[in-house]
A and B are shown apart, each in its own frame.
Chain A
Amino acid sequence: MRFFSVLVQRCVMLCISALFIAGAATAQPLPNPTGEVILTVAGPISGQNSGDLAVFDQAMLAEIGTKTIETSTIWTEGLRSFTGTPMAALLQRLGITSGTIQASAINDYTVEIPVADLLEGHALLAWHLDGQPMSVRQKGPLWIVYPYDSDNRFQSEIYFSRSIWQLARLTLVP
């Protein structure tokens, strides 16, 4: 019994130190964008680079993480290749672990996405469609997509509504 409680204590201590190390990593401020700003993140986040906001050009997003998924969507024809930054990686970079993200399009269309859902790792902040940057007319420059073909649960209204295109701003509501 005593051995067990010691073990639990050790585990807890290990976890705490791991968080501390992670926290230290995210504490680094973001660099300043050199290209056109395509994303603005507001809210209680870390690493702000423009006042209390974090702003990104496409290169900064690619720097945080790049991933390509192939899927069909209900808005496009045929199988398409989406390349972008996993939302989970972006949120981690900004030290976001909980709360809700308000995602707004350039026409101010806004949806709310739970952080927990994004941290699952499926959501992709796409900036290339079939290897090409997306214009506003092609629902660019940013489009949150899910791997709809991989799981039926992504083919539901809730995920379709979260798949916001012409994305411009993210706001963390804790």
Chain B
Amino acid sequence: MVRNIANLAVRGNRRFWPLTAAVLALLLTILYFAADVRTQINQLSKDPNDNVQWVLSQPEIELLTLAALAGEGHQNPAATLTAVRQRFDVFYSRIALLEESPIYAELRADPEVARNLGQLRGYLDATAPLIDGPDTALRAALPDVQESALQHRLFARNIALAGLRLFSRKSDQQRQDVYNTLVGIAILTTVLVLILGLLVAVLARLAAKSRADAQEIAQTRDRMQKIIETSLDAVILSDTTGRIIEYNGAAERVFGYTRAEAINGDMAQMIIPKHLRQQHHIGMQRYLSGKRSRVIGQGVLNLTAMHKSGREFPVEMVLDLAKTAQGDVFIGLIRDISERMSAQAELTQARDRAIAGEKSKAELLAVMSHEMRTPLNGILGTLELINPSTTDAETNRYLQVIRKSSHVLLTHINDVLDVSRLDAGKMPMLKRAFDLVALLHEIADSQSGRARENGNIVVVNTPPNGMNALYSDPDRLRQVLLNLVSNAIKFTRNGQVTIEAETGPDAAYVDIRVIDTGIGIGEDDLDRIFEDFETIDTSYGRASEGTGLGLGIAKRLTQALGGHLDAVSEPGQGSVFWVRLPLSADEAPEEPPQTTPANSPAPSFAQPGLRVLVVEDNAVNRMVAREMLERDGHSVVEANDGRAGIDMAQEQKFDVILMDISMPEIDGMAATRAIRAGTGPNAQTPIVAATAHALPGEAHRFFDAGMEYVITKPLSRETLRQTLANAVTGTAMAPPGADTMPGQEVPILDMAELDLLVQDMPGTALAKALKMFRAEMSEFVNGPLQQHAQRDALAFEAHRMAGSAGIFSAKRLSALLSWLELRAPAAEAAELQSLAQQIHSCWQITDKAIADCDALHRVVGQDHS
């Protein structure tokens, strides 16, 4: 407001100066005219012209008088001539005056006057010698003097008349000048009065405006005062020395000081905590030295303030500066945010607790699922051992129910495990290039059997090109699509299930649709079907088995792949579920995709749904194998030694048998020979040797025993997949590697493999396994390794430990132990001694590497110590 008025004043000045200049100019002009008038009046009062008429008329009179006196003197010879002489002298002086005086200079300039004056001068000059001469001569000449005087009267009169004309004209001129000047003054005065009137009007308006402004300022000030008084935030004004000059009611509440106490008090001493005062003073100094302040006008600041009681509390503060006539004034608006901060802290705590609770719940779910699955596998395995021919029909029927229920239970547990893993973000997505068309055909083929049971046919529709090089995780996508297709089959009777794929515009995405002609889903239900544990109550309710997690998992998986899953449906007509996956350029594969001949399954991985028998005495190894196989959609039956393996192979048909080599009593080779020699359903089944022995000599022994494939432990998903694919298609495997003593080139830990292990194994199980391994290894290094007497026992132990070390990707240790196993039976004592030492130190390095391994540490957490 103050600034506005200042502006107005400046504007006013600017607006008024031409007016002021005009008034000044007018005043000056009037003064000039007034001076002129004064000069003229002066001139009039001076009247430099004397009594002109008198002077002009006098010569003629003098001449007449002279003539009269001369005539008188002539008639009266007794009369003195003094009067004549004196009168002539007077006349002389008159003419001399006319000739000499500056007053008559103008008159003299008139040629007529000059001529007349010349005549008179001639008369004077002619007569003067007579006048000055002796009386007798003068007396004799008196008649001439008389006549001459009378003659010259005419010249004197002419001069008088010319003079009168001139001076009356001059006088008129002078009067006119005065008149003009006075008229000029009158006009100027009128203009001046008008301008002054205008000025008065403008000033009156300005005065009215400034009164209004003053009133407005007063009102504003009043309003501001009210605002400050009623503000909910503390308002403190201080001068540049920190002295408080305003302090409102809210400030009293916030800081505890009364207004009377606060006004004129030192703000720093009163409301700034002791440990912050130094900083405050530095800031003040900084401001006073003219530098830019870090706090003034910087928006909301979070600071700590002090109550009268010394209690410190958090505040929000806005600080600004007002320039006043009395100097700068700091304006601080301060809000006590203690309650908000504590509420926020509580909220954060509550949220953290909730998150922690959610997390522990998810972990519990994961652990429980895993823990439930292990005994369930036991149940299923045991059920497989029961020979239906040895039991009666009723028992078989019961067993069938138990088997079916157990399988359902296993599916549920796997679902829950998937959900918890997806939610925990522990489900790794392994993206790579793959052939989508092949994948769709594979799914259709694998489901066609089940489709037929419901009278359905499965059709795959793909565009002729562009679908052979999708970059995503084919395993996850398969899981999603299997779920959608199996749902479609489930809810369709005597209809068709179509699997379609189509790329979007600019190949930005690919849509994969699963279309059925089934019962459809109501609009109300359509939103719920993707939620967890939702099963739609349908007429096929009994037929639709499942946890209700299937679509939830599918949706999560799709999202984890960067896409989304959606559905439309028309009850009674059918449903369309579609997966939209992005095809971003930066995710394009570096290597060309693996293309395959049309109509043949991809050789890199086997069709899902294989029945695999895993014969393995090591529980950890069994668990790992089961995880990997089930993940790929295969079903697994476990046998925990060679005897059990032979028995199970006798019982039922498997697509592939995974056979451990080193097992107590009956080892893998013996078991294989027994199976091949028998007449059971698996006499021709491909058998894969799973071994830590990666030696050519060994491999030949396995082939001799009737195994077709060798897989090196620890198992990796890729090699397992490849081997299964080879086994199913009958492709021969490549020969194994070289036969040398392992050296420094073998890494202590294979990190890539370790990462895969961490991804594949639940944390708790991994921690348990790791703990077990370290205990066993420690015992082995300090016990059997030092006793070389029992060579066979040493070899056996070495083999066992090599397997365990392999699981944890301890490559060098595993290789050294395998070498020990190989050499133990026949080697010299010195060689064994040296080998034992190498193993000992290698274990120490490996143990440390495991302890330092971040990947393991993250998963295993506090269990690893």
Q: Which residues of A have CB within 8 Å of B51?
A: 157, 160-161
Q: Are B87 and A107 in contact (CB under 8 A)?
A: yes
Q: Are A75 and B101 in contact (CB under 8 A)?
A: yes
Q: Are A138 and B50 in contact (CB under 8 A)?
A: no
Partner of A74, one of B45, B62, B89, B102: B102
> Is B424's CB within 8 Å of the partner chain A?
no
Please provide the chain B residues from 85 to 107 with a CB less than 8 Å away from any CB of chain A in the complex: 86-87, 89-90, 92-93, 96-97, 100-103
User: How far, in angstroms, from A89 to B480 measured CA to CA in the complex?
Assistant: 148
How far does the Cβ of B215 sit from chain A's closest Cβ, in whole Å?
A: 59
> Is B590's CB within 8 Å of the partner chain A?
no
> Is A79's CB within 8 Å of the partner chain B?
no
User: How far, in angstroms, from A31 to B45 measured CA to CA in the complex?
Assistant: 42
Partner of B46, one of A75, A138, A155: A155
> Is B75's CB within 8 Å of the partner chain A?
no
> Is B47's CB within 8 Å of the partner chain A?
yes
Q: Which residues of B have CB within 8 Å of A157?
A: 45-47, 50-51
User: How far, in angstroms, from A135 to B50 measured CA to CA in the complex?
Assistant: 22
User: How far, in angstroms, from A152 to B49 measured CA to CA in the complex?
Assistant: 14
Please classify the interface of chain B as helix (H, G, I), strand (E, B), loop, or mixed, using the class held by over half of its residues.
Answer: helix
User: How far, in angstroms, from A174 to B160 measured CA to CA in the complex?
Assistant: 37
How far does the Cβ of A134 sit from chain B's closest Cβ, in whole Å?
A: 10
Q: Which residues of A have CB within 8 Å of B90?
A: 106-107, 136, 166
Partner of A136, one of B48, B93, B101: B93
Q: Are A165 and B93 in contact (CB under 8 A)?
A: yes
> Is A122's CB within 8 Å of the partner chain B?
no
Q: Which residues of A have CB within 8 Å of B97?
A: 75, 139
> Is A132's CB within 8 Å of the partner chain B?
no
With A75-B103, A76-B100, A77-B100 as given contacts, are A161 and B93 in contact (CB-CB < 8 Å)? Answer: no
User: How far, in angstroms, from A106 to B50 measured CA to CA in the complex?
Assistant: 19
Q: Which residues of B have CB within 8 Å of A2?
A: none
Please provide the chain B residues from 75 to 131 with a CB less than 8 Å away from any CB of chain A in the complex: 86-87, 89-90, 92-93, 96-97, 100-103
Report how many residues on chain A are interfacial, defined by Cβ distance under 8 Å. Answer: 19
- B interface footprint on A60-91 (CB within 8 Å = 1, 0 otherwise): 00000000000000111100000000000000
Q: Which residues of B have CB within 8 Å of A156?
A: 45-47
Partner of A137, one of B42, B48, B49, B89: B89
Q: Are A74 and B93 in contact (CB under 8 A)?
A: no
Q: Which residues of B have CB within 8 Å of A152?
A: 42, 46
User: How far, in angstroms, from A63 to B49 measured CA to CA in the complex?
Assistant: 35
Q: Which residues of B have CB within 8 Å of A135?
A: 89
Across the interface, name the chain A residue whose C-beta is closest to B55.
A75
User: How far, in angstroms, from A166 to B50 measured CA to CA in the complex?
Assistant: 17
With A75-B100, A75-B101, A152-B42 as given contacts, are A138 and B47 in contact (CB-CB < 8 Å)? Answer: no
Please classify the interface of chain A as helix (H, G, I), strand (E, B), loop, or mixed, using the class held by over half of its residues.
Answer: loop
Q: Are B96 and A161 in contact (CB under 8 A)?
A: no
User: How far, in angstroms, from A159 to B767 measured CA to CA in the complex?
Assistant: 141
Q: Are B101 and A76 in contact (CB under 8 A)?
A: yes
Q: Are A107 and B62 in contact (CB under 8 A)?
A: yes
User: How far, in angstroms, from A76 to B50 measured CA to CA in the complex?
Assistant: 13
Across the interface, name the chain A residue whose C-beta is closest to B51.
A161
Across the interface, name the chain B residue whose C-beta is closest to A155.
B46
User: How far, in angstroms, from A160 to B100 measured CA to CA in the complex?
Assistant: 16
User: How far, in angstroms, from A166 to B87 measured CA to CA in the complex?
Assistant: 11
Q: Are B102 and A136 in contact (CB under 8 A)?
A: no
How far does the Cβ of B547 sit from chain A's closest Cβ, in whole Å?
A: 131
User: How far, in angstroms, from A157 to B53 measured CA to CA in the complex?
Assistant: 13
Across the interface, name the chain A residue whose C-beta is closest to B131.
A137
Q: Are A139 and B93 in contact (CB under 8 A)?
A: yes
- B interface footprint on A157-174 (CB within 8 Å = 1, 0 otherwise): 100110001100000000
Q: Which residues of B have CB within 8 Å of A166?
A: 90, 93
How far does the Cβ of A151 sit from chain B's closest Cβ, in whole Å?
A: 11
Q: Are A161 and B89 in contact (CB under 8 A)?
A: no
How far does the Cβ of B572 sit from chain A's closest Cβ, in whole Å?
A: 132
Q: Which residues of A have CB within 8 Å of B102?
A: 74, 77
Across the interface, name the chain A residue whose C-beta is closest to B45.
A156
How far does the Cβ of A7 sit from chain B's closest Cβ, in whole Å?
A: 43
Q: Which residues of A have CB within 8 Å of B103?
A: 74-75
Q: Are A161 and B48 in contact (CB under 8 A)?
A: no
Please provide the chain A residues from 75 to 130 with a CB less than 8 Å away from any CB of chain B in the complex: 75-77, 106-107
- A interface footprint on B439-451 (CB within 8 Å = 1, 0 otherwise): 0000000000000
- B interface footprint on A39-75 (CB within 8 Å = 1, 0 otherwise): 0000000000000000000000000000000000011
User: How far, in angstroms, from A106 to B89 measured CA to CA in the complex?
Assistant: 10
Across the interface, name the chain A residue whose C-beta is closest to B101.
A75
Partner of B86, one of A136, A138, A161: A136
Q: Which residues of A have CB within 8 Å of B62?
A: 107
With A74-B101, A74-B102, A75-B103 as given contacts, are A155 and B48 in contact (CB-CB < 8 Å)? Answer: yes
With A138-B93, A165-B93 as given contacts, are A74 and B48 in contact (CB-CB < 8 Å)? Answer: yes
How far does the Cβ of B252 sit from chain A's closest Cβ, in whole Å?
A: 73
User: How far, in angstroms, from A157 to B49 measured CA to CA in the complex?
Assistant: 8
Partner of B50, one of A136, A139, A160: A160
CB<8 Å pairs between A and B, sample of 27: A74-B50, A74-B103, A75-B97, A75-B101, A75-B103, A76-B100, A77-B101, A106-B90, A107-B62, A136-B86, A136-B90, A136-B92, A137-B89, A137-B92, A137-B93, A138-B93, A138-B96, A139-B93, A152-B42, A152-B46, A155-B48, A156-B46, A157-B50, A157-B51, A160-B47, A165-B93, A166-B93
Which residues of B approach A to under 8 Å, CB–CB?
A: 42, 45-51, 62, 65, 86-87, 89-90, 92-93, 96-97, 100-103
Given pairs A107-B65, A152-B46, 20 additional interface contacts (CB within 8 A): A74-B101, A75-B50, A75-B103, A77-B102, A106-B86, A106-B90, A107-B62, A107-B90, A136-B90, A137-B92, A137-B96, A138-B96, A139-B97, A152-B42, A156-B46, A156-B47, A157-B46, A160-B51, A165-B93, A166-B90
4 smallest beta-carbon distances between A and B, as pairs: A136-B89, A157-B47, A155-B46, A137-B92
